[in-house]
Amino acid sequence: MYQSYPNAAKGVKWMFIAEILSLISVPLVFIAIGGLTALAATVLNLVGLYTATHDDAGYFPALYAAVADLVLGVIGNALGEGVLRSLLSVISTVLGLFIVYQVITTTLNLLNGRNGTLALRGGYVIKIYVVCTLVVIVCMVLSIIPIVDILAIVVSLVAAIAMVVGYVFYLMFLYGASNSLTQA
């Protein structure tokens, strides 16, 4: 018999809903409701992470990283264009990878091997996110160099497509994990 983790299940479910809201907010960004949807997604993600910490402290680093990413985003938007904003963007990208990694590993630790498919999916997500994040960071640096910036854009587009696949796997992981964590 496995232990159930109702707070982690509820928190992961909130994170899943937050990710769906983030997706919905992208096409709505040009109207006022897009900004509100993105704000709701951010709040739900933080609430989800906080709720999950009641069952496992392993979610705390992801929560702290999400708050730091939010603060860096506000600072970056206030700065306008420039090298410092680019640096903050790189840090934000790394924080995003860390959050996904921490959520997946902590959730898999709670599941303790009860769902092999979910464990494989989580592993795929981590691998895809790590590779794509490294590629994006290299492309961000290379985009500063004239002529090479064109190649960096092309490679970034390929990485973005791969990241979409990773994102779908992440959504599937969150949904499956929220259901598995409630089963005793």
pLDDT tens, position by position, for the chain (184 residues)?
567 789 999 999 999 999 999 988 888 878 878 788 888 999 999 999 999 999 999 999 999 999 999 999 888 888 877 778 878 888 998 999 999 999 999 999 888 877 788 888 888 889 998 998 888 888 877 877 778 778 888 888 888 888 888 889 999 999 999 988 887 5
- Cα→Cα distances 105→88, 90, 123, 173, Å: 25, 23, 9, 11
CB 34 within 8 A of CB 43: no
Q: Residue type for 47, please?
A: V
Return the CA Rg of the chain.
Answer: 17
Using alpha carbons only, give the angle 88, 91, 94 rounded to the nearest 5 degrees: 155
pTM: 0.88
- Of the candidates 170, 137, 168, 128, the one whose C-alpha atom is nearest the C-alpha of residue 155 is 137
What tokens appear for 150 in the block? 């064109």
